[in-house]
Amino acid sequence: MSVAPPLTPEQQLALAFAPAHQRGAIASLFELDRTLGEIVRREAETGLKQLKLAWWREVLGAGSVPPEAPPVLRRLAEAGYPTATLRDLAEGWELLLQEQLTAADIRLFAQHRAKGWTWAAGLSGTGEPLAAAAAGTRWALADFAIHVSDPRESQAAIDLLVQQAGSKLPRALRWMSILEGLTLRRLSAIQGKAPRLGEALRLTILGQPYRWQEN
């Protein structure tokens, strides 16, 4: 199985603002998402990517963790939430194996990837799945726009991002606001229009959505 890369600086800061008793589960969620992403980015053969992602999809959808499963799956199961709800993560990454992505494909990818945030909201017991899904979708679109090599696909993600409304999240989900806001700020910097870091942090730490502005 692919090895997940280290946490990004944005993830590290977001994790520091997560409730202490949830940090292990959230860190494992980050690890699972990065592991799936590495399969898409690093494997040379499309067929091998398909096989590996299909394996993860089936294991996540099984509803129980087999003894030989990677440690990240055991940690997620021990967090007390069914790992089957994360099956959409693997399905989302599988969408990127197509030769050309439409705006609809990119939107669906972001929505599937945001299921991890819905999972985390359920774990927190805040009852804010829709707000978490919206924040996760915005983050996924921004992260996709940052890393995709095709300028057309990057712009399609930004066009979709402009259409996504943000909302204030409860304190228990403040880490989501921070990760979303810092990722959007990074995309803004690439576009040559980043605000001061202090401003972005002030908004996200207060739980206010960072508002993406087109030129």
Does 73 map to a domain?
Answer: yes
| 3 state SS of 213 | coil
Residue where the block lists tokens 């087999």? 66
pLDDT value for 215: 47
Residue 50 pLDDT > 90? yes
Residue 212 pLDDT > 90? no
Does 200 map to a domain?
Answer: yes
Does 43 map to a domain?
Answer: yes
DSSP assignment of 188-209? HHHTT----HHHHHHHHHTTPP
- Residue range of the domain that includes 120: 9-205
Residue 198 pLDDT > 70? no
Does 154 map to a domain?
Answer: yes
Does 75 map to a domain?
Answer: yes
Range from 44-48, 88-92, 173-177, 182-186 that averages highest in pLDDT: 88-92
Does 72 map to a domain?
Answer: yes
Q: How many domains does the structure of the chain reveal?
A: 1
Does 211 map to a domain?
Answer: no
Those residues whose C-beta lies under 8 Å from the C-beta of residue 127, and which sit 6 or more positions away, are 121
- From the number of C-beta atoms within 10 Å of its C-beta (0-12, 13-18, 19+), residue 210 rates as buried
pTM: 0.88
For residue 42, give both structure tokens: 């690093």
pLDDT value for 160: 94
| 3 state SS of 5 | coil
